[in-house]
Amino acid sequence: GRTAGSQAGPAVLSCRVAFRGCSSPSAGPCICPCLEFDLATNLVGQPLVRQQVMKGVREFLENPNPVKPLVMSFHGSTGTGKTYVSSMLIRYLFQRGLQSPYVHHFSPIVHFPHAEQIEQYKESLKHWIQGNLTNCGRSAFLFDEMDKMHPGLIDVIIPFLGPSWVVYGTNYRKAIFIFISNAGGEQINNVTLALWRARKDREEISLQDLEPAISKAVFENPQSGFWKSGIINEHLIDFVVPFLPLKHHHVKQCVVSELVQQGLEVRPGVVQEVADSIPYFPEEEKLFSSTGCKTVASRISFFF
Ligand SMILES: Nc1ncnc2c1ncn2[C@@H]1O[C@H](COP(=O)(O)OP(=O)(O)OP(=O)(O)O)[C@@H](O)[C@H]1O
Ligand SMILES: [Mg+2]
């Protein structure tokens, strides 16, 4: 687990990745085994997420001089674990996790609400990133709800994502950028369903089955923050991370974890009832949860 806090060092840290250390001392400074274990035990039904995130993080952290920043994009429908995984990752990388001064979280509704101010947003976003990378090259930038971002805005960060040596006099190749969106979720769900109908196991779904559909969907959808974006066109995303729709038995696992976390007794009847109370699609087969595990926590109280 996540018990490395006691070895975490001073509260205000020098500017670097705050490796939290592992509970097992032999693991050394590498967070990878801990992150991998956490993902393997706590993230349900997302084999590709585990694979892609670990690949990205491992390559990036093992390289003392990365040629470009790590850019990952999380896609999937609601409640499939995008926010959950991004905060888990950040917690391993930075002391104080999302509260770290080196972690910057953008939400379009909060930070860029007015379409008519897009030019101002472009300037301030560029300056914000530039300033923070000058201050700390090991910064992380999370762009949540990319589908609510005004198209065109995100392209101002293109210079920070590529492999050039420096931009505006700053080495920015140790930064991490994570985009999160529901865009592509429908395509992921359709492919997963089609493969299920073709009797292909969920674990057999490959990135190649999904990535082209996701890229196409986000690039061609005017409702997506990546609409006609150079970020897609110039292939600046290193790791596309698809979150598959969750099935009934995954939801049950979420219910169990939630009960344990709330200190409640795990009664099979309750687990079943909570999982049954969630809507599933498609209409006939009722295979996948329409809200993933999102409403699990709030539903539990109704069944206790
Ligand atoms: N694959 C999963 N494995 C374990 N728990 C999950 C998973 N997906 C979701 N959960 C649980 O459900 C909660 C809600 O999920 P999360 O906030 O990560 O969804 P999301 O993909 O970000 O959805 P949205 O697109 O609506 O933002 C999480 O806090 C976690 O407890
Ligand atoms: Mg989310």
7-45 pLDDT, tens per residue?
333 333 334 444 443 333 333 346 788 889 899 999 999
247 annotated among ligand-binding-site residues: no
What per-residue confidence (pLDDT) applies to 166? 62
pTM (predicted TM-score): 0.89
Q: Which of 59, 82, 83 is nearest to 69 (CA)?
A: 59
144-160 pLDDT, tens per residue?
999 888 888 999 999 89
What per-residue confidence (pLDDT) applies to 24? 35
Q: Is 252 in the pocket of ligand 1 (CB under 6 A)?
A: no
**What domains, with CATH codes, occur in the chain?**
4-242 (3.40.50.300), 248-303 (no CATH)
Q: Where are the alpha helices (DSSP H) in 136-184?
A: 158-161
Ligand nearest to the CA of 105: 2
65-74 pLDDT, tens per residue?
888 999 999 9
Q: Is 46 in the pocket of ligand 1 (CB under 6 A)?
A: yes
77 annotated among ligand-binding-site residues: yes
Using left for φ > 0, alpha for ψ between -120 and 50, and beta otherwise, residue 97 falls in left
Give the residue ranges of the chain where pLDDT is below 70: 1-30, 164-170
What per-residue confidence (pLDDT) applies to 93? 87
169-184 pLDDT, tens per residue?
667 888 999 999 999 9
What per-residue confidence (pLDDT) applies to 84? 96
Q: How far apart are CA 190 and CA 282, in angstroms?
A: 10
Which residue's CA is the closest to the ligand 1 atom numbered 7?
81
Q: Is 18 in the pocket of ligand 1 (CB under 6 A)?
A: no
Report the nearest atom of ligand 1 relative to the CA of 185: 25
The residue to mutate among 147, 180, 254, 289, having the most atoms of ligand 1 within 8 angstroms of its beta carbon, is 254
80 annotated among ligand-binding-site residues: yes
What per-residue confidence (pLDDT) applies to 17? 46
Alpha-carbon distances of 185 from 85, 152, 217, rounded to whole Å: 16, 21, 9
> How many CA atoms, within 13 angstroms, populate the side-chain half-sphere of residue 123?
3
